[in-house]
A and B are shown apart, each in its own frame.
Chain A
Amino acid sequence: MSLHQKSVAELSAGLAAGEFSSRELTQYFLDRIGTHDGALNSFVTLTAEQALAQADVADTTRKAGDAGPLTGIPVAQKDIFCTQGVRTTCGSRMLENFIAPYTATVVRNMEQAGCVMLGKTNMDEFAMGSSNETSYYGAVKNPWGVEQNLVPGGSSGGSAAAVAGGLAPAATGTDTGGSIRQPAAISNLTGLKPTYGRCSRYGMIAFASSLDQAGPLAKSAEDCALMLGAMAGFDTADSTSVDAPVPDYTATLSEPMKGRKLGLPKEFLSDAVDPETREATDNALATYRNMGAEIVEISLPNMHLSVPTYYVVAPAEASSNLARYDGVRYGHRAEGVENLEDLYKRSRGEGFGAEVQRRIMVGTYVLSAGYYDAYYLKAQQVRRLISDDFVKAFEQVDAIIGPTTTGPAFAIGELVDDPVQMYLNDIFTIAANLAGLPALSMPAGFSGGKPVGVQLIGKVFDEAGILNAAHQFQQVTDFHRAMPEGFK
C-alpha cells in the first residue's frame, strides 16, 4: 500500500515502527501535491520549508521517546485558520496579503500534538458556499470527477479535495451549516462537526459566531477521533469555548452497536433525495440492524424550517462580523478614494465577492430598523423549536441517522447562478448547527459512480458515540477505503 492510501492511524503505526521518518512522509506528500494539485487547486498556500522543519522536529521528538499518535503526521489547514507569519486569505481578495500576526488555537493545539502543516487549503470565500466556487483563488475540483468538473463541496472544499486525492492524510475544516459534512459526503471522506464550544474559535476567521465550529476531514472515523483529540479543548481566549475535559475518542471506538437506538427522521427521506442516495442510506440502516442496533422512526417536525432560519441567523451574524473589514487596519484598501465613506464602500465593494456581498446585505436587511422582530427575532424563536425537536428525539434514541445530502457532487457552474438552490445543499446538515449538536458524515456508497454519505447526529458532547458508530460501520464496510481513479 502506498503512503497516500494509508489512514492517519496506519501512518502513525509506520512512524512508530520506524518504517519511514516524518521528513520522508512529509516530502512524499509535498511531491504528491506537486504532481496532482495542478488539476485540483486544493491549496492556496504551500508551506514546504516550514513543513520539513516541523518534520525534523517531530523526528527528533520521536528519537527522544516523546512521540504521541500524531507526532510527525502531515496535515493541511483550511485557510480560515490564522497561522502566524503565513498568509491567511479565508478565500477572499480582502485578505490576499494578510499575514496573520498570531496562530489559531486549533492550529496551535495540533502543532503541540506534533502535526506537520503542509499548507493552507482553498475554500469558499469567508466559508460562504457549498461548492468552493466562491473562492477568489479559483474553484477546486473533486478528485472523483476532474474530467466532469465536479465540485468537492464547500466551504471546506480544498481540504476535502486534498484528502480525497491523497495529497494530505487529513485536514481541518470548519462547519457553519454543513461545510465539513457536505464536502466529506460528496468526496468520500469522514468529516466531523463537533459540539458548539468543543474546539476553540480563537483565530478561526469568524463567519457566523453562534454556529461556526472547527473539525477534521479524514479517511476514517478512527482518524477523525485522533484528529479531534488534538484539536479540541478549553481555551480562555474564546469566550464560548466549553470548559470540559477532552475524552480519548479512540478509547470507545470498539464498543459494540448491540442495543443502540438510531433514530431515522422521516423528514430525511423526502422526495428530494435521489434514489441511489436513498438506497445507500437504506443499506447503512440494514448494516446497523445486522450489528444489533435498533432503527427507530422519529420526527423532527420543524426540520423544513432550518434553511430559512439559517439564512436569517447566519447572514445577520456575518454582516456584523464582516463590518471589521474597513480598508483601514488590515485587508484590501481601494486606491484613489475621495473621502472616508468612499474608502469603506470601495474597499468592501472590491474586496468581497458576490456571495459574501449578498449575505452581508441579507444580514444588514434582517437586522435593520423595523425588520428585526419579523426576521431575526422570529428566526431565533424557530431555532428554539428546531432545537427542541432534537431534545425530544434524544429522549428516545442514542443518535440520529440519515443521508448527509440529497445527492452526489454536481458540476462547477451548475448552481452558481441560483443562490437558493445552492443553499438547499445544506438542507440536512444545517439543523445540527442551529442546535449546536455534534454530527459527522461517512462514506456510504455511490450514486452514478459518485460518492454519497450518511450522516450521524449525536447528543451534545457525544462525539465519542457517533465516532464509535461510524467506526463500527467502517469495520464491516469498505466504502471509506475507495479512492478515485487517477489518484490511487
Chain B
Amino acid sequence: MEFTTEQLRSVAQLARLELSESDVELYSRNLTDIMGMVEQLSAADTEGVTPMAHPLDMTQRLRPDAVTESNQRETFQALAPDTEDGHYGVPRVIE
C-alpha cells in the first residue's frame, strides 16, 4: 500500500505531532515500507484464534481498595515547566 502524505498528516494530527514538510514526505515513504512489511500478516490464517493480550495469559491482579499513595504534589510539580498555586500552567483554553 501507498501511505499518502494526506494520510500521514492525518495520523500526525491524531498523534499530536508537529512535522515539517520534509518530514511529512520522508515519513510517508517510511510508513509505506513499514506497512508493506506488516501486510504479510494478512496471509496468516487466524480463523477462530483467540487474540493474545498478555504474554503469559494472566489476568490483572486485584489489590485491597486501600490508600497506599501519599500526596507528593510539590515533588511532582517541581518537574513541571510551568506551575502556579499548585496548578499546572497551560495556554488559555477558554476565551
Task: Please give the residue numbers on chain A whose beta carbons come within 8 Å of chain B beta carbons, in ascending order.
Answer: 98-99, 101, 195-197, 210-211, 236, 239-240, 242-243, 302, 304-305, 307-309, 311-312, 319, 326-330, 333, 337-346, 348-350, 352, 354, 357-358, 360-362, 364-366, 368, 374-375, 377-385, 387, 418-420, 423, 433-436, 460
A364 touches B19 (CB 8 A): no
A382 with B79, Cβ < 8 A, contacts A242-B56, A329-B88, A340-B93 known: no
Nearest opposing residue in chain B for A367, CB measure? B14
Interface residues of B (CB under 8 A from A): 7-8, 11-12, 14-19, 23, 26-27, 30-31, 33-42, 44, 46, 49-56, 58, 60-61, 63, 72, 75-76, 78-82, 88, 90-93
Where chain A touches its partner, the secondary structure class is helix
Interface centre among B8, B34, B46, B53 (most CB of A within 10 A): B34
Measured in the bound complex, the distance between the Cα atoms of B49 and A416 in whole Å is 36
Q: Which of B17, B53, B54 contacts A361 (CB 8 A)?
A: B17
A309 surroundings in chain B (CB, below 8 A): 41
Task: Report yes or no: B55 in contact with A312, Cβ–Cβ below 8 A.
Answer: no
B81 proximity list for chain A (CB < 8 A): 327-328, 330, 333
**Are the C-beta atoms of A381 and B31 separated by less than 8 Å?**
no
Contacts A330-B80, A346-B18: A385 and B44 contacting too (C-beta < 8 A)? yes
- Number of cross-chain contacts by CB at 8 Å: 168
CA distance A377 to B51 in the complex (A): 7
Q: Known: A340-B90, A348-B18, A360-B15. Contact between A385 and B40, CB under 8 A?
A: no
A360 and B31: CB pair below 8 A? no
Residues of chain B within 8 A (CB-CB) of A384 are 49-52
Q: Which residues of A contact B15 (CB under 8 A)?
A: 319, 348, 360-361, 364
Contact assessment for A381 and B88 in the assembled complex, using a CB-CB cutoff below 8 Å: no
B6 to chain A, nearest CB (A): 13
Report whether over half of chain B's contact residues are helix, strand or loop; otherwise say mixed.
loop
Q: Which residues of B contact A329 (CB under 8 A)?
A: 76, 79-80, 88
Contact of A337 among B17, B30, B79, B91 (CB under 8 A): B91
Which of A239, A319, A350, A365 contacts B60 (CB under 8 A)? A239
Task: Please determine whether B91 and A342 come into contact, CB atoms closer than 8 angstroms.
Answer: yes
**Most chain B C-beta atoms within 10 Å of own C-beta, residue among A197, A243, A360, A365:** A365
The contact of A387 among B46, B52, B93, by CB within 8 Å, is B52
Docked complex Cα distance between A228 and B43 (Å): 39
Contact A382 B8 (CB under 8 A): no
* Complex: A380 Cα to B53 Cα, angstroms: 7
Inside 8 A of A196's CB, which chain B residues have their CB?
55-56
Q: Given A99-B79, A361-B15, A378-B46, check contact A308 B27 (CB 8 Å).
A: no
Q: Does the CB pair B91–A436 fall under 8 Å?
A: no
Asked whether B19 lies within 8 Å of A211 as measured between CB atoms, the reply is: no
Q: How far is the CA of A329 from the CA of B92 in the complex (A)?
A: 16
From B12, B40, B63, B92, contact of A308 by CB (8 A): B40
- Alpha-carbon distance A435/B88, docked complex (angstroms): 41
A101-B79, A309-B41, A379-B41 known; A361 vs B55 contact (CB < 8 Å) = no
Give, as a whole number of angstroms, the nearest-CB distance from B3 to chain A.
8
Q: Which of B11, B58, B88 has the most CB atoms of chain A within a 10 A radius of its CB?
A: B11
10 extra A-B contacts, CB within 8 A, seeds A101-B76, A243-B61: A239-B60, A311-B34, A328-B81, A333-B82, A343-B90, A354-B23, A366-B38, A368-B11, A379-B41, A383-B51
- Cβ contact within 8 Å between A308 and B46: no
Shortest B83–chain A CB gap in Å is: 9
The 7 closest A-B pairs by CB, nearest first: A436-B55, A349-B18, A380-B51, A381-B46, A333-B81, A345-B18, A330-B79
In the assembled complex, how far is the CB of residue A1 from the closest CB belonging to chain B, in whole angstroms?
A: 41
- For A210, the chain B residues whose CB sits under 8 A away are 53-55
Partner of B30, one of A236, A330, A338, A419: A419
CB distance B11 to A435 under 8 Å?
no
Q: Which residues of B contact A380 (CB under 8 A)?
A: 51-53
Give the chain B neighbours of A330 by CB distance below 8 A.
76, 79-81
* CB < 8 Å neighbour of A385 from B42, B46, B56: B46
Partner of B19, one of A99, A340, A357: A357
Q: Is the CB of B79 within 8 A of A98?
A: yes
Whether the Cβ atoms of A348 and B38 lie closer than 8 Å is no
Q: How far is the CA of A213 from the CA of B34 in the complex (A)?
A: 25
Among A211, A308, A345, A354, max chain B CB count under 10 A is at A308
User: Do residues A344 and B41 form an inter-chain contact, with CB atoms below 8 A?
Assistant: no
Q: Which residue of A lies closest to B51 (CB)?
A: A380
A146 to B23, CA, bound (A): 31
Q: Are A358 and B27 in contact (CB under 8 A)?
A: yes
Contact across chains for B17 and A352 when beta carbons are under 8 A apart? yes
Q: List 12 A-B contacts (CB under 8 A).
A: A308-B39, A348-B16, A360-B17, A364-B14, A364-B15, A365-B35, A368-B11, A374-B42, A385-B44, A387-B55, A420-B34, A436-B54
Q: Please give, as numbers and ranges, the residues of chain A lying within 8 Å of B90 by CB-CB distance.
A: 328, 340, 343
B11 touches A339 (CB 8 A): no
Complex Cα–Cα for A419 and B56 (A): 30
- Cα A375 to Cα B55 in complex, Å, equals 18
Query: Which residues on the B side are within 8 Å of A302 (C-beta)?
Result: 44
**A residues less than 8 Å from B35 (CB atoms):** 362, 365
